[in-house]
């Protein structure tokens, strides 16, 4: 019984992490159709931003303030990843719209450059981020069932991020312009929307959300130059399974993969569990190639 | 339009490479590392390695890719040893010139670069490798071309190539004594957790035989893919099995995720002992000492190891690479390898590989870890074994040690229970 509770929680927790790393990609890949292989490195940039924020807090502020660095690290990670995404869009991505294979190769190259850059600046070994003391420990639900605060925090963070994204995309003027451009670029341009600006902003927002993911992952995982490579495959898997182009699909994709992988991992082993999850995804995509939530479109050729 | 695209891409690449170059020279402490490859190719005059006043030696570690995390420091220590030897007048009166190649965390690249070092650069010896996979990839090259490799990392044993010297621990110098110590001091119920590749699988095969022979009990066995980052399910499996000890052979970044999440699940070192064989001082910095405090590790050397040689070694290393750097077991083994090779060459009077191998038999040297001796038969070295506990400052406190150096036994011939392992190879 306790195990059931714990595993249910673990499943939701894994889903929330998957969702967080996939949200940014749901925009850059899902909406903009850029196969962004550098997404993992934007996560890495978020993680290193958190590390730098922590170090600045250690040096400049009294020790009693240290616990609050993490609250500041979230917007800082977002902003830094946002700016780097903006630069990336301006110098490279904007030349590659509508050429998915080229964008795959180019962004993969960017990923390698960013990894090596991190290695040169921060050194090859992992760096340590001390998580704030208010996130240590956990909530004891039953005897022997502990929900760690960090995982609860990540679930909450994902919920908030998702809600803000929803408001932005579906309830704001900027979001409406964004959807218009992504659905029919020429028509939007005719109606006076500056597609160039919308593209840049959209890509930068996707990058910034990757930065938030990186910040949150410092609580649970390693912080090193190759951090991004661990998450990139999972992120693409979630977006593809969920259905390209729909935010809600990404949510279901993350939930599906997260829960099934914890179940399989518990019944079998970690390696076999991963294989089984992949088999399920392949089988599912054979059945419904568009993913869980298919985008309705009037285009004939897509 | 096309043209504009390309010119801006070119501009981007150029500016990025400028940034990279700038950062490289800022970290000027490792000057030979960044410029070494160029000088080496620049001076690659014809002839064999000890023509003239120089002896070329190869250094082959991953300086990029996932394994760079670990291998960069070994590479640094080897360069430091070469510099120290040169400062004292070199070997046979000749200066050592390092030829640096990057294995790029890719095993075929290791084989290819090893071939290049031997045939093109004609190096006298190569120091390099970290993962067993990289060693297994290089082994046929060194045997075929009769080269010489010094491999500095603890590994799973069951190997002894005539062209490789192993300066890291084999199983009976790390894992076997650690299991015996755990069974005597921490309990009989043992859970095996490892990454899914050669080293953990072989190590756990040995441990399972040993548990049977020494009255231990196997509580469970679990492998995770390399780079696995979510251990919540594994941790609840471990909680279910309720072992006395977790024997951890996870490698690389997975350790960070495992220990952080273990702590979050409310399990501390007081509740359950874990003993790791791939977590050293360098890794502790990346995981966080607060998370690891109280957990155990088995190695042959710690930065805190109390020998006069180690004191100077640590001082020099920090002076050269920065006060925040730490030394660790493989770093020390790489450093020792260079000195052992240099001593063997001095003794042989030439860099000829057969002569060096002959001279190396029974060679002794006072390493930072204590006195080490090369075993002539299997080309491993005698090493002391130590079990340490992580302290709040990220250093180890030695709990137990064998005192004197342990004879290497890569095929575990000295253990009756291991008979099926070495024969079933």
Using the Cβ of B277 and the Cβ atoms of chain A, whether some distance falls under 8 Å is answered with: no
Same domain, residue pair B158 and B176: no
Residue A97 pLDDT exceeds 90 = no
Select from A125, A231, A270 the Cβ nearest to the Cβ of B282: A125
DSSP-assigned letters across all residues of B177-192: HHHHHHHHHT-SEEEE
Cβ(A251)–Cβ(A79) under 8 Å? no
What average pLDDT is seen over chain B?
86
Q: Coil, helix or strand for B144?
A: helix
Structural domain includes residue B20:
no
DSSP secondary structure code for residue A30 in this structure? I
- Report CB contact under 8 Å: A124, B72: yes
pLDDT band at B422 (very low <50, low <70, confident <90, very high): low
The pLDDT of residue B65 is 75
All residues of chain A having their beta carbon less than 8 Å from the beta carbon of residue B328 are: none
Record the tokens describing residue B247, joined without a space: 């024997």
Using the Cβ of B323 and the Cβ atoms of chain A, whether some distance falls under 8 Å is answered with: no
In B302-418 the beta strands, taken as DSSP E runs, fall at 364-367, 370-374, 381-382, 386-390, 396-401
Select from A13, A91, A150 the Cβ nearest to the Cβ of B12: A91
The whole-angstrom separation of Cα B366 and Cα B374 is 12
Residue B23 pLDDT exceeds 60 = no
Same domain, residue pair B403 and B275: yes
Cβ(A69)–Cβ(A57) under 8 Å? yes
Same domain, residue pair B105 and B152: yes
Same domain, residue pair B262 and B342: no
The whole-angstrom separation of Cα A104 and Cα A11 is 31
All residues of chain B having their beta carbon less than 8 Å from the beta carbon of residue A226 are: 65-66, 69, 253
Same domain, residue pair B404 and B287: yes
What distances in angstroms separate CA A98 from CA A16, A101, A156, B78, one per listed residue? 31, 9, 36, 49
Q: How many domains does chain B have?
A: 2
- Report CB contact under 8 Å: A116, B285: no
CATH number at residue B197: 3.40.50.2300
Least confident interval from B27-41, B364-378, B388-402:
B27-41
Same domain, residue pair B187 and B298: yes
Same domain, residue pair B224 and B348: no
The pLDDT of residue A297 is 61
Structural domain includes residue B319:
yes
pLDDT (average), residues B347-357: 94
List the one residue out of B30, B81, B67, B35 whose CA is nearest residue B331.
B81
Least confident interval from A138-152, B327-341, B357-371:
A138-152
pTM over cut 0.90: no
List the one residue out of B60, B42, B51, B49 whose CA is nearest residue B141.
B60
- Summarize pLDDT for A230-288 with one digit per residue, the tens: 899 999 999 999 988 788 999 999 999 999 999 999 999 888 999 999 999 999 999 98
Record the tokens describing residue A156, joined without a space: 């909450």
The pLDDT of residue B9 is 56
CA distance, residue A142 to nearest chain B CA (Å): 13
- Report CB contact under 8 Å: A126, B285: yes
Select from A13, A128, A229 the Cβ nearest to the Cβ of B232: A13
Same domain, residue pair B121 and B106: yes
Same domain, residue pair B298 and B337: no
Cβ(A211)–Cβ(A48) under 8 Å? no
pLDDT band at B128 (very low <50, low <70, confident <90, very high): very high
- Summarize pLDDT for B298-341 with one digit per residue, the tens: 999 999 999 999 999 999 999 999 998 999 999 999 999 999 99
CA distance, residue A181 to nearest chain B CA (Å): 22
All residues of chain B having their beta carbon less than 8 Å from the beta carbon of residue A2 are: none
- Report CB contact under 8 Å: B69, A151: no
Same domain, residue pair B185 and B270: yes
- Report CB contact under 8 Å: A121, B23: yes
Structural domain includes residue B42:
no
Structural domain includes residue B258:
yes
DSSP-assigned letters across all residues of B180-230: HHHHHHT-SEEEEEEESSHHHHHHHHHHHHHHHHTT-EEEEEEEE-TT---
Same domain, residue pair B266 and B398: yes
Hey, how many other C-beta atoms are within 10 angstroms of the C-beta on B371? Answer: 15
Least confident interval from A68-77, A137-146, B256-265:
A137-146
Q: What residue in A sits closest to B253 (Cα-Cα)?
A: A222
DSSP secondary structure code for residue B148 in this structure? -
Residue B41 pLDDT exceeds 80 = no
Contacting B residues, span 195-214, partner chain A, CB-CB under 8 Å: 196
Structural domain includes residue B213:
yes
- Report CB contact under 8 Å: B286, A125: yes
List the one residue out of A87, A101, A113, A111 whose CA is nearest residue A34.
A101
Domain of B193 in residue numbering reads as 172-304+386-418
Structural domain includes residue B234:
yes
All residues of chain B having their beta carbon less than 8 Å from the beta carbon of residue A7 are: 233, 236
pLDDT band at A115 (very low <50, low <70, confident <90, very high): very high
Same domain, residue pair B180 and B221: yes
Structural domain includes residue B12:
no
- Report CB contact under 8 Å: A230, B229: yes
- Residue spans per domain, chain A: 2-229
| CA dihedral of A283, A289, A291, A292, whole degrees rounded to 10 | -70
């Amino acid at each position: 019984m306790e195990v059931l509770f714990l595993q249910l929680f673990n499943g939701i927790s894994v889903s929330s992490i998957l969702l967080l790393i996939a949200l940014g990609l749901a925009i850059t890949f899902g909406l903009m159709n850029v196969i962004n292989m550098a997404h993992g490195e934007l996560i890495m940039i978020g993680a290193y931003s958190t590390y730098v924020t922590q170090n600045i807090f250690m040096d400049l502020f009294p020790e009693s303030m240290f616990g609050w660095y993490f609250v500041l690290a979230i917007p800082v990670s977002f902003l830094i990843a946002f700016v780097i995404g903006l630069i990336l869009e301006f110098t490279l991505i904007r030349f590659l719209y509508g050429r998915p294979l080229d964008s795959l190769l180019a962004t993969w190259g960017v990923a390698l450059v960013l990894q090596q850059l991190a290695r040169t600046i921060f050194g090859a070994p992992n760096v340590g981020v001390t998580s704030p003391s208010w996130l240590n420990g956990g909530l004891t639900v039953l005897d022997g069932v502990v929900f760690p605060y960090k995982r609860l925090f990540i679930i909450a963070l994902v919920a908030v991020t998702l809600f803000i994204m929803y408001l932005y995309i579906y309830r704001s003027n900027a979001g409406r312009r964004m959807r218009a451009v992504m659905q029919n670029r020429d028509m939007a341009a005719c109606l006076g929307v500056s597609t160039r600006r919308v593209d840049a902003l959209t890509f930068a927002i996707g990058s910034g959300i990757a930065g938030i993911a990186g910040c949150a992952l410092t609580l649970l995982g390693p912080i090193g130059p190759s951090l991004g490579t661990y998450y990139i495959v999972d992120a693409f898997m979630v977006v593809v399974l969920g259905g390209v182009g729909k935010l809600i699909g990404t949510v279901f994709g993350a939930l599906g993969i997260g829960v099934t992988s914890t179940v399989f991992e518990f019944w079998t082993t970690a390696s076999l569990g991963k294989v089984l999850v992949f088999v399920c995804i392949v089988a599912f995509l054979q059945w419904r190639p568009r993913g869980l939530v298919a985008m309705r479109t009037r285009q004939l050729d897509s | 339009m096309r043209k504009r695209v390309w010119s801006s891409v070119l501009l981007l690449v150029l500016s990025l490479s400028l940034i990279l170059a700038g950062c490289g020279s800022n970290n000027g402490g490792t000057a030979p590392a960044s410029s070494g490859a160029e000088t080496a190719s620049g001076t690659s005059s014809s002839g064999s390695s000890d023509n003239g006043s120089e002896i070329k030696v190869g250094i082959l570690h991953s300086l990029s890719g996932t394994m760079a995390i670990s291998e960069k420091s070994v590479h640094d220590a080897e360069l430091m040893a070469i510099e120290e030897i040169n400062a004292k007048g070199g070997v046979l009166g000749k200066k050592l010139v390092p030829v640096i190649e990057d294995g790029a965390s890719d095993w075929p690249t290791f084989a290819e670069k090893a071939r290049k070092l031997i045939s093109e650069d004609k190096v006298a010896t190569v120091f390099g490798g970290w993962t067993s996979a990289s060693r297994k990839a290089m082994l046929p090259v060194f045997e075929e071309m009769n080269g010489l490799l010094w491999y500095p990392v603890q590994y799973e044993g069951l190997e002894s190539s005539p062209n490789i010297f192993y300066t890291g621990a084999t199983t009976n110098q790390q894992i076997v004594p650690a299991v015996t110590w755990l069974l005597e001091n921490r309990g009989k119920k043992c859970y095996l957790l490892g990454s899914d590749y050669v080293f953990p699988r072989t190590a756990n095969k040995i441990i399972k035989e040993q548990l049977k022979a020494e009255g231990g009990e196997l509580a469970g066995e679990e492998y995770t893919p390399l780079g696995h980052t979510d251990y919540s399910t594994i941790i609840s499996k471990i909680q279910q099995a309720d072992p006395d000890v977790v024997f951890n052979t996870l490698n690389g970044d997975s350790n960070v995720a495992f220990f952080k999440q273990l702590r979050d699940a409310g399990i501390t070192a007081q509740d359950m002992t874990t003993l790791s064989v791939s977590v050293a001082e360098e890794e502790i910095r990346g995981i966080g000492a607060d998370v690891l405090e109280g957990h155990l590790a088995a190695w042959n050397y710690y930065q805190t190891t109390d020998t006069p040689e180690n004191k100077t070694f640590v001082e020099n290393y920090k002076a050269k690479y920065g006060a925040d750097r730490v030394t660790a077991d493989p770093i020390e083994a790489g450093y020792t390898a260079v000195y052992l090779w240099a001593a063997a060459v001095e003794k042989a009077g030439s860099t000829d590989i057969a002569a060096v191998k002959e001279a190396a038999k029974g060679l002794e040297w006072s390493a930072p870890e204590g006195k080490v001796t090369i075993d002539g038969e299997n080309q491993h070295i005698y090493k002391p074994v130590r079990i340490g506990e992580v302290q709040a400052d990220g250093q180890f406190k030695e709990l137990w040690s064998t005192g004197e150096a342990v004879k290497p036994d890569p095929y575990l011939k000295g253990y009756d229970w291991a008979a099926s392992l070495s024969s079933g190879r």
